[in-house]
Chains A and B, each alone.
Chain A
Amino acid sequence: MAKVAKSLNEIKSFPKQTRIALRNCGLIDPSNIDEYIARDGYFALGDILKNKSPKDVVNEIKESGLRGRGGGGFPTGLKWELTAKEKSDRKYIICNADEGDPGAFMDRSILEGDPHSVLEAMAIAGYAIGANQGYVYVRIEYPRAIKRLKAAIKQAREYELLGENIFGSGFSFNIDLRLGAGAFVCGEETALIASIEGERGMSRNKPPYPAQKGLWGYPTCINNVETLANVSAIFNMGAKEFAKIGTENSKGTKVFALAGNINNIGLIEVPMGTTLREIVYDIGDGIDGGKAFKAVQTGGPSGGVITEEHLDTPIDYESLKEIGSMMGSGGMIILDEDDDMVKISKFYLDFTQDESCGKCTPCRIGTKRLYETLEKLIDMNGTPEDLEMLEYLAKSVQKTSLCGLGQSAPNPVLSTLKYFRDEYEAYANRTKRTAYFIEEDVCIGCTKCAQVCPVDCIEGEVKKPHVIDPEECIACGACYDVCPVDAILKP
């Protein structure tokens, strides 16, 4: 027998991963600041406050090539520079820990496993842009993350790593938490700001951008949890070293939450440029139950599907956009041959129409109509005209919505339409089979299927072809599993 792997770093997929944002997760006690310090925590902040100007800090982040991990991929150094440039006696830095994408838990893991990496980065960002106050906006549905953040802030204050005159540099910085109720739209930066201000979480027009007029009208820099978790690591390893990881325009690593029908469900961190095939087959160890791969859904309700033909695409912001999906914040759902793409679309539209803040008409009414059209198709009440309308409406909502929620809500529909149009047509033309079906010329009449069918809807004589009554079939799949000659087709 081969030697069994003793530890995590001995398993086959381990060398494919590079842990920067997750460097401390699972290795240190998040409730003990000393353990973070033992792994070089707060040394970057100390060195910066002692030896570097705010401009140096901005330039190093620019040089690292770090881009926003919250979905948009905006260059972080540029965002800091834009906020630094604004003249104002008050500025803010906000950490976006809303993480509303269903199925994603990258940010939660960082906050629970290594909260100080985020706090240190916020202080560094504060110094770079000239802010003395930071807020972490975190959803109340993350009680453990909130608890650990609170404890971490308290310890950092006790050590005077937050507060007045940090490292005797004259720089003062404080961080407080702001709790959100868990609305998807509150992850959008202008809605998030409105929520902190005590208003309803609704998006606002841009411009002005938060960098110019953000929280309470002051220049504000908003960064995602994972983006921030990279910051002190960049200073510790050097911007040049960091920039060696990844592709031409996407540097460093990305954390993904692997979910759906894949053997190794979990959290991974891979260098940009890793292919989807490596993620699905090497790290994820392929599809559960030996089924055929169908697609990967990335970017959650704002993203789209990636099919077999694009599995060798290297992960980076631009290449994923080119094939009609997006990096998103890092949710990755693996779909297999049995997944119905029209139903997947409906799932996401159900989510977005519910989460729409209702401020603008295209999104408020458009997403609802998109959802209803999908429902109509799935209920076999649709027509080819409905399909045309679906596509037209999806494009209109995309073009005319006020904020990113509405603008991206039709993506799951449009991308599945692009790659799996036949599935939509089967519904629209009402040729979609909803029941299992026996191929007459393959069936040997062994009667096995009839014996297991829980609703007794399979008829046939011994050694003669059997038939399933499609009206009665509940699509349980029991017959499919027992047929010795694979005569039964799935719906």
Chain B
Amino acid sequence: MKSLEELKKIKDKTKKKTNTEKDTSLTRILVGMSTCGISAGAKPVFDEFNTLIKDKELKDISVTSVGCLGECSIEPMVEVYQNDKRYTYCEVNKEKAQKIFDEHIVNGNVVEDYLIGQYRK
């Protein structure tokens, strides 16, 4: 890296792919995959989302493994970012991942039963 301009180019390029920019057509699925998340079973959930996306050949959607959000007792946690909307799903397993995928990602119906509001006040 030689200059701040060079750094800024990377920032601008990546912003589109991350939730730092709001008006994007991209749906981002984030899976908490620190030691706490993985020991709670996040890996099969992460794999499931990847498989489902591949199978359906969906575009404009990404699955990312991220660190811990702090709510260790209700992991695995999955967050879905769509434009400026953010959804936090808790205690997700493979079956729940399928349901979130079918109902929320594909059909646009948020799965209320798994939202964080059911677990935290």
Contacts and interface: CB of A to CB of B under 8 A. Distances in A.
Nearest to B32: A26
A13 interface: yes
B22 interface: no
Contacts of B64: 29
A23 to B, nearest CB: 11
Given A30-B67, A38-B15, A161 B36 contact: no
Interface string B50-80: 0000000000000011111111110001010
Contacts of B32: 26
Contacts of B1: 42, 46, 159-161, 166-167
Given A7-B87, A12-B120, A34-B10, A113 B68 contact: yes
Given A29-B65, A113-B68, A266-B70, A7 B79 contact: yes
B20 A25 contact: no
B116 A6 contact: yes
Contacts of A109: 34, 36, 67-68, 70
Given A4-B115, A28-B66, A264-B73, A13 B120 contact: yes
Nearest to A263: B73
Most-contacted residue by chain A among B14, B17, B30, B118 (CB, 10 A): B14
A139 to B, nearest CB: 13
A38 B20 contact: yes
A86 interface: no
Contacts of A37: 7, 10-11, 14
B120 A25 contact: no
Given A39-B20, A105-B36, A8 B67 contact: no
Interface in B16-61: 17-20, 30, 32, 34-36, 38
A229 to B, nearest CB: 12
B16 to A, nearest CB: 9
B46 to A, nearest CB: 12
B103 interface: no
Given A5-B117, A6-B117, A35-B18, A22 B70 contact: yes
B3 interface: yes
Contact of A108 (B35, B38, B115): B35
Nearest to A168: B2
A268 B70 contact: yes
A188 interface: no
Contacts of A161: 1
Interface residues of B, number: 44
A3 B118 CA distance: 10
Interface string B73-105: 100010100000111100000000000000000
Nearest to A143: B35
Nearest to A30: B67
Interface residues of A, number: 53
Contacts of B118: 4
A99 interface: no
Given A5-B115, A43-B11, 4 more contacts: A7-B87, A37-B7, A46-B1, A168-B2
A8 B66 contact: no
Interface string A400-416: 00000000000000000
Interface in A1-45: 3-13, 22, 24-31, 34-35, 37-40, 42-43
Contacts, number: 151
A28 B112 contact: no
A146 to B, nearest CB: 11
B30 A26 contact: yes
A114 interface: yes
A50 B2 CA distance: 10
The 6 closest A-B pairs by CB, nearest first: A113-B67, A4-B117, A5-B117, A26-B69, A38-B14, A267-B70
Contacts of A391: none
A311 interface: no
A320 B121 CA distance: 29
A6 B86 contact: yes
Contacts of A422: none
A161 B36 CA distance: 30
A264 B87 CA distance: 19
Contacts of B10: 34, 37-38
A475 to B, nearest CB: 27
10 contacts: A26-B30, A26-B32, A29-B65, A43-B7, A47-B4, A105-B35, A108-B34, A144-B34, A159-B1, A264-B73
A265 interface: yes
Nearest to B21: A38
B121 to A, nearest CB: 5
Contact of A8 (B20, B36, B112, B116): B116
A112 B36 CA distance: 10
Contacts of B34: 108-109, 112-113, 144
B72 to A, nearest CB: 4
A25 B68 contact: yes
Most-contacted residue by chain A among B38, B67, B72, B85 (CB, 10 A): B67
